[in-house]
Structure 1
Amino acid sequence: MSKVTPLVPLIKSQYAIAFIDILKQIDDDIYPTIAKAQLPENILDIEHDYVPQLPLINLLNIIGEKAGPDKYSQLIWQACRQVFIPSYIDKIKHAKTLEQALDEFCVFFNRESTHSTVKLRHLFGRHWLIREHRFSKELLADFREHFILTFMIELVRGLTQRQWSPKEIVLTTDSIDKLKQSLLIDDSQFYVNRSVTGISLSSEELAHPIKLKLGWHKTQTEQPLKPTLFADSLKQALKPYLGLGRLPIESAASILGIEVRTLQRRLKVENASYSNIVENILFNQACEMMTDRNIPISRIASSLGYSDLPHFSRAFKRITGLSPRAYRRQHS
C-alpha cells in the first residue's frame, strides 16, 4: 500500500484574523510582526479560506513573548470565549449532554482540520478529550499548547456554563508552572512529555446537561471543503501570498516549514509541479480581475509578475484559449 502524502497544515482564515485582533491589543504597528511571522501582507484586506498553520504558530509565539504569560493567557482566553468556541457551539444542534456535544464537536473539527484530530476516548477507566497533532513536538511548545489547552477547558465550561477544571491533564511539553497559574484550574494532576494534549472527564461530567448560551450563535457561512490532496492543500496555502505576484519555491518552503526537495517530491507523487500550481492560482486571479474593465490589462500583467504585455497575453491564451481582450469581452 502506498503511503498517503500528508497535507499542508492549514488554519481557517477567520481564526487567523482572531489572532491578529489579539496582536492589535498589544502592538500599535502590527505589520512588522505579521511579516516576521511570515503571514500574508494582505491578510486583512482580502478574504481567503485558509492560511498555512506555521505562520500562525509563529504569531502566537511572538504574541506570547510580547505580552508576557499573564497578559497572553488573558488574550487567548478572550479569543476562545469570543471567537473560537462560539463558532463551534453554534454548530451543535442535537446534543443534550456534554458527551453528545463533544462527539458533535469532534466531527465538526476533524472535518475541517488538516493538521490535528480531536477524539473523545475511553482509556484505562477514564474518559479523555484528546487532540492528536500531525506536526513536530517542537512546534507545540509553550504558547501553542497553552492555547490548545485553554480552548479545550473553555469549551467544556462554555457548554456546561460552570467554572470547571479537569482532574487530569496530559501535555506534550513539560512547561506546567505558568499554565497552572494562568488557566484558573484547581488541583489538576499534570502528566507531561506525552504524545497528545488532553483533559480527563468523569462519567458524571459527560452526562451533565449542556446549556447553549443565548447570544453566542452567529450566522454560519458556507464552509470551504477541506483539501484531500497535498497539491490542493498547497494551493490553499499559497493563495493568500500570491496577490503581489509570484512566490519563489524557496519562500514557499520556508513559510510551510518544509524542505524544497520535500515539497517537490510530494507534488511529484500527485503528478503536479510547483510552477503549474502557482500559474494556476495567478491566472484564476487574472480572470477575476479581467471582469473589471476599470483595471487595465497591462496592470493585471504586471501584478502577476510579467514584464511585458505580449508575454502575458501568450500565457493567458495558452491557459484559457482566449486572448485577454477576448476574455474580457465575454466575461464583463
Structure 2
Amino acid sequence: MDNAHQHSSTADVTVVASAAHGLGEFIALQGGDPDSVFGNAGLNPELLADPTLRLPLTGFCGAFEEGSRQTRNDNFGLDFGRQFKPANIGLLGYIALSSPTLGDAFCAMSRLFAGHQQNTLMRLCDEGSVCRLEYQILHCAIAHKRQDAEMTLAAFTNLARHALGSRWAPEQVLFEHQRPEGWHKHSKFFDAPVLYGQTRNAMIFKRSCLERPMPDKDALLLQLLSATIQRNMPTIESKASLVDSVRREIQQALDHQDLNLKLIAGRLNLTSWTLQRRLNDLNMTFTSLVDDVRWNIACNKLAQSSLPISELAVQLGFSEVSAFSRAFSRTHGMSPRQWRQSRPAWSPL
C-alpha cells in the first residue's frame, strides 16, 4: 500500500463527534489542558461543539492517548468510559435506549455502528449459553488504541447495566493490548476476569441477558430515530459495512492457504464478480484490503506485544519470516524489528 493511499484513507476515516461528548471537560477535570491535548492529537476542538459533525478517527483515538499522557492517568480511557452515559453516544445511543430489549439494543448498534464509526468492527456473536460483543478498530494507521478500547467497553458495560442493574457483571472481558500497571482498576469496574493480549476486544456475558427489557423502550421514538439515522448516513453506512465485512472475513481467513477474492466473496454470499465490482465502485481493490488487514494486525502486535516476529509472520499467512520482513519493509520503509524499536509510547499519526 503506497503512502498516498494510506494518507487518503486516514483522512477519510471518521467517527461522529458525539462519541467525544464531554471530553474537553473531562480532560480539564483530570488536570490537563484540552487545547493542548486536542492540538497535539491533530483534532480541531471546534468540531466537538456539534455532535452531528464527524471527527477524524486518528485524531479521536489520539486525543485519548494524549489525554492519558498529559494527565498522567494511565486509565484515562477507562475512567472516561465509566462516566459516559448511553445517551451521550448520540443518535445511536438513543436508538439503543429506545429498543425493546438489551439484545435489540446491541443488535441495532452492531448494524448501525459502521455509520457511526468507520473502519471499525462491532459484532454480537451468539455462542450458545453466552454471547460475545466484539469491538475492534480495523484501520492500520491507528496503532495505539488502548484508551479507546477501554473507554468503549466501559460504555458498552454502562448500557448493559442500564437494563440489568448497576451491579451486573459480564462473564469475561478481553482486550487486545497487554496488561497495564493499573489493571486492578479494570477488574474492579467490570467485576469480572479481564484477559489481555487477545485477538480483539470483547465482552462475554450470559445469553439470557439479551432478553431483559430496556427501561426506556419507546417504539415510536425508535421508529423516528431509525428513519433519521438511515436518511442521514445511508452512503457512509453501506460503504463502511461492505468494507468492514470484507476486512472481517479476510482477518478470519488470513491463515487459509487459498485466501483470495473467490473465498471471501463466498463467505459473504456474493459472486467474485459482484464483490470486485462493488469494491471498484468504492475505488478499492481486494489486494489493498488484504494488505490493510495484515498491516493493521502486524503494527498492533508489534507495538503492543512481545510476540516473536517469526510467530507473527505465520499468523499473517506468510510461509517464511523473510517474506514477511520484505513485504513489511516495502510498505513501511524499515524491517518489523526496526519498526518495533522505533515506536514511542504514543505519537499522533
- Per the shorter chain, which TM-score range? 0.5 to 0.7
Secondary structure class of the residue paired with 2:125: strand
Q: Deviations over 1:110-144 (max 9, x none)?
A: 34331212111023753111113312496354312
Query: Residue 32 of structure 2 contacts residue 67 of structure 2 at CA under 8 Å; is this kept in 1?
Result: no
Number of aligned residues: 228
Pair 269,130 (structure 1): closer, same or farther in 2 beyond 3 Å = closer
In 1: Cα distance, 2:51 partner to 2:213 partner: 38
Question: CA-atom RMSD, angstroms?
Answer: 3.9
1:121 aligns with 2:125: yes
Report what 2:88 is aligned to: 83
Indicate the percent of aligned positions where both proteins have the same amino acid. Answer: 10
Pair 94,82 (structure 1): closer, same or farther in 2 beyond 3 Å = closer
Pair 108,40 (structure 1): closer, same or farther in 2 beyond 3 Å = same
Report what 1:175 is aligned to: 179
Report what 1:307 is aligned to: none
Query: Residue 68 of structure 2 contacts residue 77 of structure 2 at CA under 8 Å; is this kept in 1?
Result: yes
1:134 aligns with 2:138: yes
Pair 95,64 (structure 1): closer, same or farther in 2 beyond 3 Å = same
Q: Deviations over 1:55-79 (max 9, x none)?
A: 1111101212233146664333223
Q: Could you list the runs of 5+ residues in structure 1 that have no partner in the other structure?
A: 231-265, 271-332
1:144 aligns with 2:171: no
1:22 aligns with 2:26: yes
In 1: Cα distance, 2:40 partner to 2:9 partner: 26
Secondary structure class of the residue paired with 2:143: helix
Query: Residue 142 of structure 1 contacts residue 175 of structure 1 at CA under 8 Å; is this kept in 2?
Result: no
Query: Residue 97 of structure 2 contacts residue 214 of structure 2 at CA under 8 Å; is this kept in 1?
Result: no
Query: Residue 170 of structure 1 contacts residue 198 of structure 1 at CA under 8 Å; is this kept in 2?
Result: yes
1:159 aligns with 2:163: yes
1:152: how far off?
1.8
In 2: Cα distance, 1:186 partner to 1:57 partner: 22
1:33: how far off?
2.4
1:104 aligns with 2:125: no
Higher helix share: 2
Query: Residue 26 of structure 1 contacts residue 66 of structure 1 at CA under 8 Å; is this kept in 2?
Result: no
Q: Which range moved further: 70-79 or 139-148?
A: 70-79
In 2: Cα distance, 1:162 partner to 1:95 partner: 19
Secondary structure class of the residue paired with 1:148: helix
In 1: Cα distance, 2:97 partner to 2:160 partner: 16
1:204 aligns with 2:199: no
1:163: how far off?
1.9
Report what 1:38 is aligned to: 42
In 1: Cα distance, 2:228 partner to 2:48 partner: 20
- Residue type of the alignment partner of 1:202: K
In 1: Cα distance, 2:159 partner to 2:208 partner: 17
Query: Residue 121 of structure 2 contacts residue 137 of structure 2 at CA under 8 Å; is this kept in 1?
Result: yes
Pair 138,177 (structure 1): closer, same or farther in 2 beyond 3 Å = farther
In 2: Cα distance, 1:13 partner to 1:42 partner: 10
Report what 1:309 is aligned to: none
Report what 1:74 is aligned to: 79
Moved over 6 A (4+): 45-48, 217-221
- Residue type of the alignment partner of 2:132: W
1:90: how far off?
1.8
Pair 176,158 (structure 1): closer, same or farther in 2 beyond 3 Å = farther
1:37: how far off?
0.9
Query: Residue 87 of structure 2 contacts residue 93 of structure 2 at CA under 8 Å; is this kept in 1?
Result: no
1:54: how far off?
0.5
Query: Residue 176 of structure 1 contacts residue 190 of structure 1 at CA under 8 Å; is this kept in 2?
Result: no
Equivalent positions of 1:1-332 (< 5 A) are: 8-27=12-31, 29-40=33-44, 42-43=46-47, 49-67=53-71, 68-69=73-74, 73-80=78-85, 83-84=88-89, 87-92=91-96, 95-123=99-127, 126-136=130-140, 139-175=143-179, 178-182=182-186, 184-185=188-189, 188-212=192-216, 222-223=228-229, 224-225=232-233, 226-227=235-236, 269=283
1:19: how far off?
2.2
1:12: how far off?
0.8
Query: Residue 64 of structure 1 contacts residue 72 of structure 1 at CA under 8 Å; is this kept in 2?
Result: yes
1:109: how far off?
2.0
- Residue type of the alignment partner of 1:108: L
In 1: Cα distance, 2:181 partner to 2:117 partner: 30
Query: Residue 102 of structure 2 contacts residue 209 of structure 2 at CA under 8 Å; is this kept in 1?
Result: yes
